[in-house]
């Protein structure tokens, strides 16, 4: 199949497929005499793996490591678990940070009268002025 078909079957855009090839995340596929890329079921399966890992928030580097572990049948599952556990911790930290942002913004919105006056605690906060 061509890159468009591989894109459709994997859910990864053709642009991202080319990018993944460029950075070495996936092996460039064979090419026809006309220099078109030719993808098979194995390449699509790898692309789906990458898509799922990226959807779960793994970085490109983490995805590359996971892909290598997935392809290494002699790997220890503990390595995969450690990567996933570390990723969970990073996600939980990010969630805490986002919840803090929401709390701060809710407070600022609550303090803003939202009327025709120019006073705005939201802009004051962004400018580094102390809240009243």
What is the domain range of residue 22?
1-75
| Per-residue pLDDT band at 12 (split at 50, 70, 90) | very high
pTM: 0.81
71 and 81 together in one domain: no
84 and 129 together in one domain: yes
| Per-residue pLDDT band at 114 (split at 50, 70, 90) | confident
Query: Taking a C-beta distance cutoff of 8 angstroms, is the pair 88, 49 a contact?
Result: no
pLDDT for 58 beyond 90 = yes
Provide the percentage of residues in the chain whose pLDDT is more than 70. Answer: 98
53: how many CB neighbours lie within 10 A of its CB? 20
9 and 35 together in one domain: yes
pLDDT tens column, 28-40: 888 888 988 899 9
The enclosing domain of 11 has a CATH number of 1.10.1660.10
55 and 65 together in one domain: yes
Contacts of 50 (CB under 8 A, 6+ apart): 12, 20, 25, 26, 63, 67
Instruction: Round the average pLDDT of the chain to a whole number and report it.
Output: 94
> What's the domain count of the chain?
2
36 and 11 together in one domain: yes
| Per-residue pLDDT band at 129 (split at 50, 70, 90) | confident
| Per-residue pLDDT band at 132 (split at 50, 70, 90) | low
């Amino acid at each position: 199949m061509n890159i468009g078909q591989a894109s459709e079957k994997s859910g990864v855009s053709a642009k991202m497929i080319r990018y993944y090839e460029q950075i070495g995340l996936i092996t460039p596929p064979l090419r026809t005499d006309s220099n078109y890329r030719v993808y098979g079921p194995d390449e699509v399966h790898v692309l789906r793996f990458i898509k799922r890992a990226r959807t779960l928030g793994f970085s490109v580097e983490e995805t590359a490591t996971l892909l290598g572990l997935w392809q290494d049948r002699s790997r220890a599952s503990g390595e995969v678990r450690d990567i996933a556990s570390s990723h969970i911790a990073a996600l939980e930290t990010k969630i805490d940070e986002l919840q803090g942002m929401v709390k701060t913004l809710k407070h600022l919105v609550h303090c803003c009268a939202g009327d025709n006056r120019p006073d705005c605690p939201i802009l004051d906060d962004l400018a580094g002025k102390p809240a009243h």
